[in-house]
């Protein structure tokens, strides 16, 4: 019923990946008394990496060797939406229980089903999509749809930085730095609160890009030799490429701002994000509105905290014999709570 | 992992209690295709009751006779915070799986523990505290405390009608009608969003009472014979009683408005409510805020919808062999969803 677990034994965690999210998970584990860090497994050479918390680094392939078998309660995959995130998840789940923040909504079902089969075979438990969306926002959409069955929950993201969209802009020839802000349309939010649900994609969000161009590299000559007309033509060309990029920008109204490196580094390197889920139901004159909102100065820090909470749940569920794959919808909230804090205190 | 349930067989529900919440549960079940209503069990004589949905009424004691054994999948206790809610819960759980919206926070732990023992003995499952607070707000406090472990989630209620406080005012001699509005202090909400948590009770909420006095009954003479000075003295006496009522008003700043019956019936008989849970965490300059908000035109309708969703979870969990007692913290969100809607759609 309620979980009364002795947390004098710590949960042995491994971090897989040492980018922004990996570093945030490292910090979160250092500050979480019921966890201990076995090590950080990165693709980069261990001797090139430094931990502010004195963590041990290992090559990623070592994770699958004999040395760590049975030594890790849960591996926290901190590779974001890397192209091989699914493959790495499956490979890791063959050896260890895992949590991740896999975030390609469209591939989630297939990923969970494959992991479920693998986990049941190997006796491990995977809890995937443990960020804020997918993650807490998924919980809210399902909760709202359950208790307000005539509602169609609406999700708004931002204002905040989308790593995926920023990355897409950075891949364009001539772009040195780029940050993409997803901006919710406040008028659409207001209408959603009144019960409107039939928004076109373009109506709910706009996109803003802050871009630094590498003119010298593009034109193959010193910046002093490049005319304003040349620069402007290049900017127009890049802007056109951005706003027409299919899947990323073509369906949205996008504005592109070209800024210099100093301004970019001063103002556009933060990783803040925000968002809300709104559900409205009306039965004649009688209405209900439910709303969940997040405002995060650091998207990676918050994502890390969500993953660590679900890593605790993974440990508890795996110890009770669960194997296979789960999402946040499968996990009772009590399993996220620290030992000692009985669930009842919150009821 | 995900629940794939055949809902061609309907969940057989009983409603216990036919006040505001019972009537809302009846309406909700009538509109919910995976439920069917076995009957409504009331303390009042069945032949004095009418159902707009053609429901069958039975005396409450019939629920415990032979006739309904094995005929009810889940009994939905719709007795609010009646003085004997705990006793009725235990008695019903001896025969059937139950859900309720028991809402005395201070007694919840004892209630759950007793029900857990009873349920394990009798092979039934109880899910209790399935309203919005306790209920959805409990889920949010636990979730926020889990993923933002350095936060202290703050709950604000209102603006809305508190049935308990209205009832306390109605018990005062001379009061004919009374409605009490709980009002959140907007400045406290603003400060909570900035991370403040050390509020005194008086700082977070104020209370507003709209009261109709029965002057004739109190003075024992026709209203035309009662002077304005007599009326005013009586009003001052009642107002003093209200604002000093321990546990209900003494810790708050309370305003009392005396209104006539026509104004009261026109403006103060709705059962709207609202509230929010706010959690803020700060690590140096890096902060996170999470917020959950509900705005409900009908508190009983929404409470009924939450109970029906948890009644579905009860059915699914009981079928998988669970017995004893649970709160909302113990129930995976996927079990609240209607069959056919796979959990994955929300992830």
State the maximum Cα–Cα separation within chain B, in Å, rounded to a whole number.
73
pLDDT of residue A287: 96
Instruction: Tell me the shortest Cα–Cα distance from A239 to chain B, in angstroms.
Output: 32
Do the Cβ atoms of B147 and A305 come within 8 Å?
A: yes
Closest in A1, A286, A337 to B298, CB measured: A286
- Give A179's pLDDT tier (boundaries 50, 70, 90): very high
Give CA separation, B343 vs A35, A330, A331, B164, B326, in Å. 30, 9, 12, 37, 21
Closest in A108, A148, A305 to B344, CB measured: A108
pLDDT of residue A84: 85
Q: Which residues in chain B have their CB less than 8 angstroms from residue A287's CB?
A: 297
Do B325 and B108 contact (CB within 8 A), yes or no? no
At A295 the three-state DSSP class reads strand
Nearest-by-CA chain B residue for A102: B347
Taking residues A62-82, what's their average pLDDT? 93
CB pairs under 8 A between A and B: 188
User: At residue B3, does pLDDT exceed 50?
Assistant: no
CA distance A174 to A341: 53
The pTM score is: 0.94
CA distance A81 to A273: 16
Nearest-by-CA chain B residue for A299: B288
Smallest CA-to-CA distance from A327 within B310, B2, B337 is with: B2
pLDDT digits (tens, 9 = 90+) for A189-220: 999 999 999 999 999 999 999 999 999 999 99
- Best of A140, A273, A347 to substitute, by most chain B Cβ atoms within 10 angstroms, is A347
Structure tokens at B159: 């603006």
Average pLDDT, chain A: 94
- Best of A104, A269, A328, A333 to substitute, by most chain B Cβ atoms within 10 angstroms, is A333
Q: Which domains are present in chain A?
A: 11-134+300-346 (3.40.50.720), 138-298 (3.30.360.10)
Q: Which residues in chain A have their CB less than 8 angstroms from residue B194's CB?
A: none
CA distance B237 to B121: 52
Do the Cβ atoms of A329 and B330 come within 8 Å?
A: no
Q: ipTM of the predicted structure? A: 0.94
Instruction: Tell me the shortest Cα–Cα distance from B250 to chain A, in angstroms.
Output: 25
Residue appearing with tokens 């559900």: A279
Q: Where are the alpha helices (DSSP H) in chain A?
A: 20-30, 85-93, 108-122, 136-147, 163-170, 186-193, 201-204, 215-219, 228-243, 261-267, 299-319
Instruction: Tell me the shortest Cα–Cα distance from B70 to chain A, in angstroms.
Output: 25
pLDDT digits (tens, 9 = 90+) for A264-280: 999 999 999 999 999 99
pLDDT digits (tens, 9 = 90+) for B141-165: 999 999 999 999 999 999 999 988 9
Q: Which residues in chain A have their CB less than 8 angstroms from residue B336's CB?
A: 142-143, 146-147
Residue A181 φ then ψ, to 5°: -100, 130
DSSP labels, B24-79: HHHHHHHT-TTEEEEEEEESS-GGG---TT---EEEGGGGGSGGGTTT-SEEEE--
Closest in A290, A296, A329 to B332, CB measured: A329
CA angle B320, B323, B329 (to 5 degrees): 90
pLDDT of residue B2: 45
At B113 the three-state DSSP class reads helix
CA distance B89 to A122: 43
């Amino acid at each position: 019923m309620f979980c009364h677990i002795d947390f004098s034994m710590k949960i042995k965690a491994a971090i897989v990946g040492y980018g922004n999210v990996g570093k945030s998970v490292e910090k979160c584990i250092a500050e979480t008394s019921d966890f201990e860090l076995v090590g950080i497994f990165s693709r980069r050479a261990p001797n090139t990496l430094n931990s502010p918390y004195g963590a041990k680094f290992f090559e990623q392939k070592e994770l699958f060797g004999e040395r760590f078998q049975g030594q890790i309660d849960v591996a926290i995959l901190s590779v974001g939406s890397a192209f091989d995130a699914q493959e790495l998840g499956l490979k890791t789940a063959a050896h260890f229980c895992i949590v991740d923040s896999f975030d390609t909504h469209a591939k989630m079902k297939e990923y969970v089903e494959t992991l479920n089969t693998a986990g049941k075979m190997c006796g491990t438990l995977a809890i995937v999509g443990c960020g804020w969306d997918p993650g807490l926002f998924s919980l809210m959409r399902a909760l709202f749809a359950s208790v307000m069955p005539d509602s169609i929950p609406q999700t708004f993201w931002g204002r905040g930085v989308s790593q995926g969209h920023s990355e897409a802009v950075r891949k364009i020839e001539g772009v040195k730095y780029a940050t993409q802000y997803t901006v919710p349309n406040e008028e659409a939010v207001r209408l959603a609160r009144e019960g409107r649900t039939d928004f076109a994609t373009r109506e709910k969000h706009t996109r803003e890009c802050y871009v630094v161009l590498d003119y010298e590299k593009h034109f193959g000559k010193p910046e002093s030799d490049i005319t304003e007309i040349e620069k402007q033509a290049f900017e127009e060309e890049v802007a056109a490429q951005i706003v027409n990029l299919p899947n990323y920008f073509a369906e949205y109204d996008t504005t592109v701002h070209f800024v210099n490196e100093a301004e970019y580094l001063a103002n556009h390197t933060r990783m803040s994000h925000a968002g809300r889920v709104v559900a409205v139901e009306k039965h004649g004159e009688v209405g209900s509105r439910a709303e969940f909102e997040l405002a995060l100065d650091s998207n990676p820090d918050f994502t890390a905290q969500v993953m660590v909470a679900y890593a605790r749940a993974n440990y508890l569920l795996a110890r009770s014999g669960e194997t296979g794959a789960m999402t946040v919808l499968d996990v009772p909230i009590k399993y996220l709570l620290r030992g000692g804090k009985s669930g009842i205190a919150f009821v």
